[in-house]
Amino acid sequence: MQIHTTIASLRAARANAGKVALVPTMGNLHDGHIALMHEAVKQAGTVIASVFVNRLQFGPSEDFDRYPRTFEADCARLQAAGVGHVFAPHEAEMYPQPQGYHVEPPPEQAGILEGAFRPGHFRGVATVVLKLFNVVAPNVAVFGKKDYQQLMVIRNMVQQLALPINVVGLDTIRAADGLALSSRNGYLTPAERAEAPRLHRQLAAIADAVRQGQRDFAALEAAALTDLQQHGWQPDYLSVRRRADLQAPQSAADPLAVLAAARLGKTRLIDNLEI
């Protein structure tokens, strides 16, 4: 496995590769990321994983500085997963000047749900992902559905900018008790970790109720929010949406998903389920 810290080195390696799959990450890899790597290995002969904690997508009071950086352990896992190249640029390589050009996703996609609570987040994500796409020129890019809105924004960016990249979304990997794997789970205290699967249980209860014909989404959402609050959570949102654009459901035929973000102690967790 080769490690590249410069764009020039990565591009030279990419020039000799055939079909390439890219898995963008911010490191601190867990089994969810490794599942993305395995999918990438199935998709293409050469797999490139990027490891870059992207300052642009963090708000001023968010966890950029304390985001866990575990590069050596990450590389061991990437190598074992069959990744051929790691692109791990320093910040000065990705952003040699303050980034003046940005990808501004449309507000109806980026200003709702996560975007309403993390202003500028998807602008930062779309900007770095387009830059990574420009550096790597992948044929395939693999993302997890855990960041469901991020996946929607990236799919739309690829479509609207006519990028020749097949975007693959992979189901969320969960712990045995249902908690979605996330780098931020490491922030939870043991007591919070024991409580954390409640978020998935509430989403699963809503998904079951909707599958059984319940259409009063507001009542389902309110009951779940109350239960979370009664157990010490501070929810940002919990909402049943259309899968395609994450707007409110319009017709009974709309494929749906239920998405949530909530704080448990100092940790903000997100999760979702397709219904």
- Give the type of residue at 63: D
Token pair listed for 115: 């975007």
- Spell out, one character per residue from 145 to 184, where the chain touches ligand PAF: x when CB under 6 A holds, - when not: --x--x----------------------------------
Q: Least CB distance from residue 27 to ligand PAF, whole Å?
A: 8
Our answer to whether residue 90 is catalytic in this structure is no
Nearer to ligand PAF, 125 or 240 (CB): 125
Distance CA 149, CA 226 (A): 24
Indicate which residue of 4, 30, 33, 85 is catalytic: 33
* Smallest separation, CB 269 to ligand PAF (Å): 14
> According to CB under 6 A, which one of 28, 43, 46, 54 is a site residue for ligand PAF?
54
Site for ligand PAF in 10-49 (CB under 6 A): 24-26
Q: Per-residue string for binding with ligand PAF, 112-131, x by CB under 6 A?
A: -------------x--xx--
Q: How far is the CB of 128 from ligand PAF (least distance, A)?
A: 5
Q: Which is nearer to ligand PAF, 54 or 239 (CB)?
A: 54
Binding region for ligand PAF (CB under 6 A): 24-26, 54, 57, 125, 128-129, 147, 150
